């Protein structure tokens, strides 16, 4: 609410969530706002969820801006190292 946009994306994969159980995820929500837990005023927040299974079917991370930027680079580097189609 207090800062910037919420970006939503459809995703296909799995996450390990509540109770340590794996579950299928269909939706990603990304936003920069106040965290619920991290000790920072603002964080980059990512929710990976399956809304069809209810609000609790969610894997949430809250990362400082610097951490999130480095994570993006790490993801891009990992993807670049693997040829398309693999």
Partner 1 sequence: MSDSLSATTIFLTGADDAEVEAYLARPDGEHTRGGVVVIHHLPGYDRATKEMVRRFAELGYDAICPNLYSREAPGADPSDAAATARAQGGVPDARLVDDVGAAAAYLRALATSNGSVGVIGHCSGGRQAVLAACHLDLDAAVDCYGAFVTGEPPQGYPLKVTNLVDQLPDLRAPLLGLFGKEDKTPSPEHVKELDERLTELDKPHEFHSYDEAGHAFFATDRPSYRVAAANDGWERIASFFDTHLAGRDS
Residue 62: Cβ within 10 Å count: 20
Dig out the tokens for 32 from the structure.
């920069």
User: Of 5-13, 67-75, 76-84, which part binds partner 1 (CB under 8 A)?
Assistant: 5-13
Does 33 participate in binding partner 1 (rule CB under 8 A)? Answer: yes
Residue 83: Cβ within 10 Å count: 6
Give the three-class secondary structure for 4: coil
Between 7 and 74, whose beta carbon lies closer to partner 1?
7
Burial level of 32, CB count in 10 A (0-12/13-18/19+)? middle
Does 4 participate in binding partner 1 (rule CB under 8 A)? Answer: yes
Site string for partner 1, 42-81 (x = CB under 8 A): -----x-x-x--xxx-x-x---------------------
In angstroms, rounded to a whole number, what is the distance separating the alpha carbons of residues 57 and 76?
A: 26
Tell me which of 3, 24, 72, 75 binds partner 1, using CB under 8 A: 3
Q: Contact positions toward partner 1, by CB under 8 A?
A: 1-8, 27, 29, 31, 33-34, 36-37, 39-41, 47, 49, 51, 54-56, 58, 60
């Amino acid at each position: 609410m207090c800062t910037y946009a919420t970006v939503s994306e459809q995703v296909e994969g799995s996450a390990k969530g509540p109770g340590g159980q794996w579950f299928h995820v269909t939706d990603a929500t990304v936003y920069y706002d106040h965290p619920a837990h991290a000790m920072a005023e603002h964080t980059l927040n990512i929710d990976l969820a399956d809304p069809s299974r209810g609000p609790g079917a969610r894997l949430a991370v809250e990362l400082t801006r610097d951490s999130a930027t480095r994570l993006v680079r790490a993801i891009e580097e990992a993807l670049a190292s693997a040829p398309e189609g693999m």
